[in-house]
Structure formats: C-alpha cells, structure tokens
C-alpha cells in the first residue's frame, strides 16, 4: 500500500503540469462581448473643415426646368397647319436653359432663361446641346398650264393653271363618284396605277370611271410614272360640275387652294362681276294714270341709263276743222 500511494503522489504533479501546458497552448479565454473593441473604420474620417467647404459650394436652387406649352404651327397665311391625316401640327415645346452643371438658368430678375434657336444651353449632364439640322426633302414641282379635266371623255373643267411648288396630292371631284385623291408617292389606302403620269397627261381610273388631266406642259418626268389613287365616295361638294384641286392632306376636308374655315365650299372660286353692259337692268315701275316718262338720251356702252321721272301727260287741244267750200264744178253739178 505504501508503494502504491507513493506512485500516485508522484503522478499528480505531472498531470497538473500537463494541464498547465495545454492551457498555455490554447491561450487565454476570450473576454466577454461587451468588452470587445469596436472594428476599425474602413475609410478615414473627413475633417470637419472639408465637409463645411462642400456644403458651402453645393447648389441649393430649383432643379425643375420650366417648359412652355407647344405653340401651334402656322402656314404662310397664318392658319393652323395640318399633317397629311388632317391633325393639327405644333412646334416643339420651348424649355428653360441649363448651365454647364445641369442647373436651370435664371436672369437677374429671377425669370427663367428660355431656349432660343441659336442658344439651347446644356443638358442635365452638362453637355452642350447643338441644333439638329433638318434634312431637306426634295420637292416635286408641277406646273399645269391650260389644263383640261375630263370625266369619261367629257370635258368637265377647263383653263386650269396651277404652279404647285411641291406636289403632295391632287384632288378630282365628280358628282356621283366622290373625290379621287392622287399622288406620285405611296400613302395608306391608295392603290398603284402604273403609267398614270405620262408626259402631259394624268389618267386614273376611279370606280370604273376614267378621270384625265391634260396640260400644255409636261407634268413630271419624261418616262411614265405610277400614280397612287384613293377614292372617297362619301365626300360631297355642292357642285353639279367636276372640280379639281391640290393640297397636302389626304383626308377630309382636303386643303384645297384658297379653302377657308367658313361655310364656303373649298375649291370653288367666285366668278368676277359682269361688265356693266351685261348687267340686267330692272324695269322701272309703271307711271300712274295720266303720267308718262319722257324719252332719255341713249346711254353710252358700259354706262347705266338714268331713270326718267314720271311727268303728267299734256292734254291735247281739240282742233276744229274749217268747212270746205264747194268748188265751181261741184256747184254746177
């Protein structure tokens, strides 16, 4: 027993020493979470003076850009311009200018500085805005000299003289057929008729009827060209005779030359007044009983004869015939 006790007493210090070594290798225990130091910041702190400078130069004005309502687009006569479908056309909206930093620009009085044709300012990213150059579309001029419009071979309109700066649409109206819209370029709803434009004539077919325009001058090119035709049977004009016109619209009311927004019929032109010599003169009222109008001097050609007033008719004095004395021969008999 004494030997065993001695051995156990000898082993106890060794075991205690081993546990001490393990504890040293494992390291000291972690402190509580409440005592851990905060993580180091990823970015360096900005000095207070630098922040103050940034806030001092920061833009604090309005960021909303003023925009005016689109203005109507007017033609040369001051009327509302319409697109080919008959819808009103408007100019692009005018906006307030921006500076190089993209901020709205104001004048000395605090009013917005609007864009102009030559000065558009900058966009929201500070890039200079340049005016876009519009591509010029090649015009198609057409000259109609002493033109004659025929319907199925019968002349319906003569002495047509038009100088069309840019051909868009030609209109042929005939009672019972409606209006026929003709163009040298395709458009919605139109059907192609090859060879319709041929030298000095334009010949198209509308619902089985032949419409032709003949001119003293060549209409388009030397070679025959196709025409694109649309027939509108629902369109009516208060006219018993054919009518021709042209314009930039392919839908009613069809902008005829000289067309107005009032009740006047588009495409019809009032004839000039008759010369005075052909103006019918209304007969004067008859004079009352016992009166008459004396004869007036004949009027010169082109003048209007003056109306003579009524005057009383002079009473005729009765004439008593002298008795006829019988001759000597008559007395002998």
- 180: nearest Cα among 132, 218, 96, 237: 237
Give the C-alpha separation, 215 to 202, whole Å.
9
Do the beta carbons of residue 246 and residue 170 sit within 8 Å? Answer: yes
pLDDT for position 121: 85
pLDDT for position 180: 93
- 75: nearest Cα among 63, 60, 91: 91
pLDDT for position 228: 96
Pairing of strands 311-312, 243-247: unpaired
pTM check: above 0.75? no
Pairing of strands 209-214, 142-151: antiparallel
Q: What are the pLDDT tens digits along the chain (333 aa)?
A: 444 554 454 444 454 444 444 334 444 455 444 444 445 444 444 445 444 444 556 777 777 888 888 888 887 667 777 878 778 888 888 888 888 888 888 888 888 888 887 888 888 888 888 877 767 778 888 988 888 999 988 888 888 888 888 889 999 998 888 899 999 999 999 999 999 999 999 999 998 899 999 999 899 888 999 999 999 988 888 888 888 888 888 888 787 764 433 344 455 556 556 555 556 666 677 888 888 887 776 666 556 667 788 888 777 666 566 666 666 665 565
Give the C-alpha separation, 245 to 167, whole Å.
11
């Amino acid at each position: 027993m004494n030997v065993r006790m001695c051995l156990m007493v000898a082993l106890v210090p060794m075991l205690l020493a081993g546990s001490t070594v393990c504890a040293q290798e494992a390291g000291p225990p972690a402190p509580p979470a409440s005592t851990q130091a905060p993580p180091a910041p990823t970015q360096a702190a900005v000095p207070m003076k630098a922040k103050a400078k940034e806030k001092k130069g920061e833009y604090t004005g309005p960021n909303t850009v003023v925009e005016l309502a689109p203005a109507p687009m007017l033609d040369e006569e001051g009327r509302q311009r319409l697109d080919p479908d008959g819808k009103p056309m408007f100019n692009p909206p005018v906006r307030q200018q921006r500076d190089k930093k993209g901020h709205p620009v104001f004048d000395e009085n605090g009013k917005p500085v609007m864009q102009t044709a030559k000065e558009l300012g900058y966009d929201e990213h500070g890039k200079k805005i340049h005016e876009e150059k519009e591509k010029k579309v090649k015009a198609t001029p057409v000259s109609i000299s002493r033109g004659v419009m025929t319907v199925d071979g019968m002349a319906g309109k003569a002495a047509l003289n038009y100088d069309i700066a840019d051909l868009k649409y030609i209109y042929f109206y005939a009672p019972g057929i409606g209006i026929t819209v003709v163009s040298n370029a395709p458009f919605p709803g139109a059907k192609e008729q090859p060879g319709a434009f041929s030298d000095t004539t334009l010949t198209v077919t509308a619902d089985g009827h032949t419409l032709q325009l003949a001119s003293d001058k060549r209409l388009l090119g030397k070679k025959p060209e196709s025409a694109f035709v649309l027939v509108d049977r629902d369109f009516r004009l208060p006219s018993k005779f054919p009518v021709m016109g042209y314009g930039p619209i392919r839908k009613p009311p069809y902008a005829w030359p000289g067309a107005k927004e009032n009740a006047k019929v588009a495409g019809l032109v009032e004839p000039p007044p008759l010369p005075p010599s052909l103006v019918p003169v209304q007969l004067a009222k008859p004079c009352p009983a016992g009166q008459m109008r004396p004869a007036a001097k004949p009027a010169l050609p082109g003048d209007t004869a003056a109306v003579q007033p009524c005057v009383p008719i002079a009473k005729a004095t009765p004439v008593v015939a002298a008795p006829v004395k019988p001759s000597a021969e008559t007395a002998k008999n």
